[in-house]
Amino acid sequence: MNKKIVIVGGGSSGWMAAAYLNGYLNRNGNKPTVEIELIESPDIPRISVGEATVLSIRHFLSVVGIGEQEFLKKTDGSFKQAIRYTNWLRNDNSSYYHPFNRYNSDNVDRVIEKWLATDRSIPFVYYCTAQADLCDLGLSPHMLGDWDMGARFSYAYHMNAQKFADMLRDISIKRGVKHTLANVTEVQLKDNGFIEHLRTDIDLKVYGDIFVDCTGFRAKLIEEAQGVGWEDCSKWLLCDRAITMHVPYDKHYPGMVRPYTTATALSNGWIWDIPMQNQRSIGYVHSSSFIEQDDAEKEMRAYQGGNTEHLNSRTIFFKVGKRQQAWQGNCIAIGLSASFIEPLESTGLYLSDLGSMMLAQHFPYNDEQMASMAFRYNRIMSNKFYEVLDFINMHYCLTQRTDTEFWKIVQTDEHITDRLKAKFEYWNKKPPSPFDFEDQNFNGLNYTPSNFQSELIDSRNPIDTAGIWGHVNYQWILYSMEFENRFGNTKRENAPKTVRPQQILNRLAMAKQKLPTHAEWLQKKLGMPKYSTAYKPNGWV
């Protein structure tokens, strides 16, 4: 072996990096060409939270070589077919979905134009997909037998993040990744700023060629040792805390396992609700500038509906932003040490997955490649960060809520990114379409390029290349949050009634006949226990 990767920090990001890099570079241990060692502190408390994912997780599992049912069993996992947003547009219990599938009957995408030309009596999401109905009905995206329904529905997963990390740890060690339990006490740099070796509290020196910083917000390598700063983005996303709680099914089973993630807007933020096989994970993401911690916890427990005195909660503090450069010298930050954006669109594991995938594809096999690979890595990861930032910023700034100061402020002009403002201005003239993401340079767009001086940073403005969300995803949110009305595109008098395409109705009728409920599939295929219904939390129907 001629190169060694040293990963500092375990958890989801560390073990995802170890598993993916081993899968990609070493063919899961079958053709080892790179040595991988992960150093994990035995003293840092482990955080067990429910995680929702996006479609990229299935690519990750395929590269690592983990089957779907094995993954679901070991992580208490379940299916995610959409995110359901409640009380985001108005505080009136109204909801909309951001699903994974959309129907289009034409060679050219004219779905939004057709819907806008009607009286819009059917919400946009229901007009162009049956997946919202599957969510309403609590159906699984899988049949119990062989699939015979034509094109499959797309889906991601919910899971226990700690069990996911444990599974990846066990697989990685079995396939040749070295696991060292120790605390890093010193980072020794070379004259050129590269990391030479690490010292640990077990009197061990660890040398390597590439060092991956997965030490969370502490950023022990990239910031403490190498001095790479943090770009604060809290101006665009005001939330900075989350109070979390697990709600076990043995005493709190609501009668179903929703096949989607729920994001319910509360007074000063929103609450995630992630269903797994044995419990729900809920967490109130909020701004400490607008609500006291005790009041936030009371609001979270009220959402659950009472009888939660025996359930413990935990507060997570976070900062929204990104590392000025994720790759400095021979050190690459992945996970919280590189960036953080609140998990409204389930992007936490996505950004860790992406960082590992990018490193694998830009792996420097010699020092001459290092600067070129770092330059491209930093550029692409920066673009992806801003793409996620804009998309989540959009959910806040399109709200029509005025019931609290928080919701009034998040929609003001000063808290909308300049890139998103330019998108809105352009999409006022035409609905989002694929070529809008060719370079994201719209007429009149003017914002300041990066002022960070480094040969590894591209100072050009970041662009949105639709790496995770394209025009369809933007349409889901825009036209569920009445974007068409913001610029005077109101409903026409005597517009034809909205009618769902027959193909969608046919698809829905078939799904009702052939698809089991989500809970039934989990029980019969994975052995999920059958729980007795306790009661339904607030907002459940």
Q: Could you state, in order of their start, the residue ranges of all structural domains in the chain?
A: 3-77+159-231+320-384, 100-156+386-502
pLDDT of residue 28: 81
Residue among 175, 193, 147, 250 nearest 15 (CA): 175
Amino acid 106: pLDDT = 78
Instruction: Identify the CA nearest to 188 among candidates 215, 226, 156, 136.
Output: 226
Instruction: Reply yes or no on whether the pLDDT at 472 is more than 80.
Output: yes
Average of pLDDT values for 240-268?
Answer: 96
The mean pLDDT value for 493-502 works out to: 92
Which of 69-83, 129-143, 259-273, 478-492 has the weakest average pLDDT? 478-492
Average model confidence (pLDDT) across the chain: 93
Residue 230: HSE in the Cβ half-sphere, 13 Å Cα cutoff: 18
Whether the pLDDT of residue 447 is over 80: the answer is no
Q: What is the pLDDT of residues 25-77, one digit of tens each?
A: 998 878 889 999 999 999 987 777 899 999 999 999 999 999 999 999 999 99
Over residues 508-520, the pLDDT tens digits come to 999 999 999 999 9
pLDDT of 486 reads 77
Closest CA to 440 of 458, 463, 457, 424: 463
4-15 pLDDT per residue, tens: 999 999 999 999
227 contacts 21 by C-beta, under 8 angstroms: no
pLDDT at 41: 96
Over residues 408-420, the mean pLDDT reads: 96
The CATH number fitting domain 3-77+159-231+320-384, selected from 3.40.50.10490, 3.30.2020.30, 3.50.50.60, 2.60.120.10:
3.50.50.60
**Does this model's pTM top 0.85?**
yes
What is the set of active-site residues? Answer: 80
Note whether 416 and 462 are within 8 A (CB).
no
pLDDT at 452: 66
- How confident is the model at residue 46, as a pLDDT? 74
As a whole number, mean pLDDT of residues 267-283 equals 98
Per-residue pLDDT at 126 exceeds 70: yes
144-195 residue pLDDT tens: 999 999 999 999 999 999 999 999 999 999 999 999 999 999 999 999 999 9
